[in-house]
């Protein structure tokens, strides 16, 4: 199997080369992102291994198929950048649905604690010889109400950590798990109730047509003044212009973002010597009560090892002709098998 890695970084080579010792695939690492104008570079490859900021449109898929590509292997959990309808009966798509949910959940809690206690500002002050405490006041998380939107593996772990530090945790999810909630002391409520009652709201859901711009001017109006928002899910869960207005009006007490609506143009790249042309991103970076990390929540050694091993195992399974029920994505509902909307039954025929 010949595999082309797009948008490849040095750490991809490090972890995938190690995992590939068990497989012996021919791997070519390309720095360029997968776009309509770059898709022709995949000609002659059996597999394209893509990442979250590759744009896999119908035009891209057409070019990949024409070039002989049979499998799109996403080395990530996110899949909103893929046109699944264009893949039907033409190309399999696999992903890594659970590489290290602890990594992402722990990063979300780290962002919350850093933002609340203003550790990012405190560290910068002391480096400059300023040891004053004025402007660094936070609040006890213990006893406060946190809202967790999305209770997949990552959301559950984040909720359990919050419970562990004494927070009351409300959850919102289209597929609530009453058994898990009862065991952990969490409570499922409607999204509107969660907004009304939560001092902290943390987003842990994939992007779907139903929750695009879930956080907007209308839903922000439901929240208490000074609410803290944490987003390690997907950037488009938040309407950025409304987030900025909420920060300016002080409706939002702080925001910590590991993802951003237009991140594919900037994240994972170095723009330190260039002018950032995205006005919304520049505005966000100017707020003292905003933290932006560049989609690094997944970035632990354990997660990268799991991503590499699972991705190559998916490819090996495909090469053997196995049915890819475990990590293949359902084209109808864009969910990994088993499809939650079909109650565990596959909702398309494996070709």
Residues marked as catalytic: 234, 263, 295
Helix/strand/coil percentages in the chain, nearest 5: 40, 15, 45
Distance CA 143, CA 328 (A): 41
R_g over Cα of the chain: 21
Cα 115 from chain centre = 19
**Residue 133: Cβ within 10 Å count:** 9
Phi, psi of 316 (to 5 degrees): -65, -40
Q: At what angle do helices 101-117 and 119-127 cross, to 10 degrees?
A: 60
DSSP secondary structure letters along 261-324: TTGGGTTTS--TTS----HHHHHHHH-TTEEE--S-TT-SHHHHHHHHHHHHHHHHHHHHT---
> Which sign does the torsion angle of CA 201, 204, 207, 208 carry?
negative
Q: At what angle do helices 301-320 and 10-19 cross, to 10 degrees?
A: 60
| Longest CA–CA separation in the chain, Å | 65
Burial 69-107 (b: 16+ CB within 10 A, else e): bbbbbbbbbbbebbebebbeeebbbbbbbebbbbbbbbb
């Amino acid at each position: 199997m010949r595999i082309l890695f797009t948008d490849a970084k040095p750490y991809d080579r490090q972890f995938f080369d190690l995992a590939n010792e068990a497989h012996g695939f021919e791997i070519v690492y390309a720095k360029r992102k997968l776009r309509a104008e770059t898709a022709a570079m995949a000609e002659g490859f059996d597999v394209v291994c893509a990442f979250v900021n590759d744009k896999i449109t119908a035009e891209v898929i057409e070019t990949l198929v024409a070039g002989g590509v049979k499998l799109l292997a996403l080395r990530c959990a996110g899949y909103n950048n893929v046109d699944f309808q264009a893949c039907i009966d033409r190309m399999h798509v696999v992903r890594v649905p659970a590489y290290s949910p602890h990594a992402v959940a722990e990063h979300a809690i780290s962002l919350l604690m850093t933002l609340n206690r203003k550790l990012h500002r405190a560290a910068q002050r002391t480096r400059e010889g300023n040891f004053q405490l004025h402007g660094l006041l936070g609040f006890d998380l213990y006893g406060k109400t946190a809202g967790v939107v999305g209770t997949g593996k990552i959301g559950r772990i984040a909720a359990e950590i919050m419970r562990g530090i004494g927070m009351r945790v409300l959850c919102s999810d289209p597929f609530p798990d009453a058994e898990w909630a009862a065991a952990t002391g969490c409570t499922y409520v409607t999204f509107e109730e969660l907004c009304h009652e939560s001092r902290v709201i943390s987003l842990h859901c994939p992007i779907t047509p139903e929750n695009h711009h879930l956080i907007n001017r209308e839903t922000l109006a439901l929240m208490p003044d000074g609410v803290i928002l944490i987003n390690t899910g997907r950037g488009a869960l938040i309407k950025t212009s409304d987030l900025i207005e909420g920060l300016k009006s002080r409706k939002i007490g702080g925001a910590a973002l590991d993802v951003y609506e237009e991140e594919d143009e900037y994240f994972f790249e170095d723009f330190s010597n260039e002018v950032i042309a995205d006005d919304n991103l520049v505005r966000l970076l100017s707020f003292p009560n905003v933290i932006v990390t560049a989609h690094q929540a997944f970035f632990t050694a354990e997660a990268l090892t799991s991503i590499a091993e699972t991705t190559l195992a998916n490819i090996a399974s495909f090469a053997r002709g196995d049915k890819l029920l475990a990590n293949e994505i359902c084209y109808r509902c864009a969910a990994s098998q088993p499809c939650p909307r079909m109650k565990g039954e596959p909702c398309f025929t494996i070709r």
